[in-house]
Structures are given as structure tokens and as C-alpha cells.
Amino acid sequence: MPTYVPFVADGLAIAILVFGIYFPRHRRRDLSLAYLALNAGVLSVAQALSSVQVNFGLGLGLFGVLSIIRLRSAELDQSEVAYYFTALSLGLLGGLEIADDWLAPALMAALVLIMYIADHPRLFADYRRQVLTFDQAIPNEEAVIKRAEEILGAPIHSVKIRRTDLVNDTTVAEVRYHVPLT
């Protein structure tokens, strides 16, 4: 296979991931740019590292450090983290020299397909997560569940009390619940 094929496969895969899946579903221009830039950067560095004699662990360590720095710089939802690592993986697959010519494009296609399915709006569409701030200090989990059910009008699957403030008389809780679709 010609050497440009992994680059073309990477370009196609990241374009589908960002413009065909991520942006239409999440509408975050800033993260679309971040995913494209991350992919291009990883692709470039992976290609450079694969063309010189360097310890593979060093290359992966560099990507790990970059990932930690990026992930700590802004709060991301878990789905956005998944897109982030998919963009990183696509760049690695496109930039590294893999013995089997078909393997990198096949793995890229598999990653994009997995993201398409796993982040599909219809998958678990009736399950929700919300952070609620109550105007009273409620240290009892059962009382928080009861109050959340009243507010949301839906059965609560789980609740995690994040903060109870006795001075300001507030409670912050993360609530997971189910809203049946009609």
C-alpha cells in the first residue's frame, strides 16, 4: 500500500468523526477545532517518531503527558473525553507504520463506527443526568430522592449528594433518572 493511504484514511476518519458525528450532535465548535488539531498534531508526531529510531514508550509517554495537560485545562463531559481519545487514536494509527497495510484503515473505521453507535442520540435517549441545587440542607439521601422525584416528575435511579451547606441552607446533588419517551 502506498505511504499516503494511512494519511488519507486518517483524514477521512477524523472528518467523519468531527463533521459527520460530533458537531451535528453536540454543536461545540471549540471542541471540533480541538479534535482536528489534536489529530493533526498526533498524526505528525507519530509519523516523525516512526521514521526515527526512538523508544516507542517515549512516544506514548509524550502523548500521555499532553493528554493529561489538555484534559485538566477545561472541564469536559465523558462523551467529549471519548471523542478526544478517539481523535488521538486516529492520529496514532495514521502516523505509525503498521506492517499489515489494511490494519490501520480498518481500525480507524472501527473507531469511528464505535463512536457513531455509542454516542447515537437514540441510544439511552430516555436516561438523564442532572445536577440539582436544593434551597435547603438535606443530608438524607432518601429525602433528596423524594424531593428530586417531585421536581423532575420521574423515577430516580441514583443520587449522589455532592455538597450539603448548612450555613447557606443548600444541597447539591447529582441525579440520574429515567424519562420514558412517548
Least confident of 75-79, 98-102, 121-125: 75-79
**Rounded Cα distance, 40 and 11, in Å:** 9
At 41-91, the pLDDT tens digits run 778 777 776 666 655 666 666 666 666 655 555 666 777 778 888 888 888
Q: CB within 8 A of 135, min separation 6: which ones?
A: 169, 170
Kindly report the backbone phi and psi dihedral angles of residue 172, in degrees, each rounded to the nearest multiple of 5, phi listed first.
Answer: -115, 130
Q: Where are the domains of the chain?
A: 5-118, 127-178
Please count the residues of the chain: 182
Q: What is the DSSP secondary-structure string of 62-123?
A: HHHHHHHHHHHHS---HHHHHHHHHHHHHHHHHHS--SSTTHHHHHHHHHHHHHHHHT-TTT
pLDDT per residue over 2-37, tens digit each?
A: 578 888 999 999 999 999 998 998 888 888 888 888
Is the predicted pLDDT of residue 1 greater than 70, yes or no?
no
Instruction: Indicate the burial class of 85 (C-beta count within 10 angstroms; 0-12, 13-18, 19 or more).
Output: middle
The pTM (predicted TM-score) of the whole model is 0.67
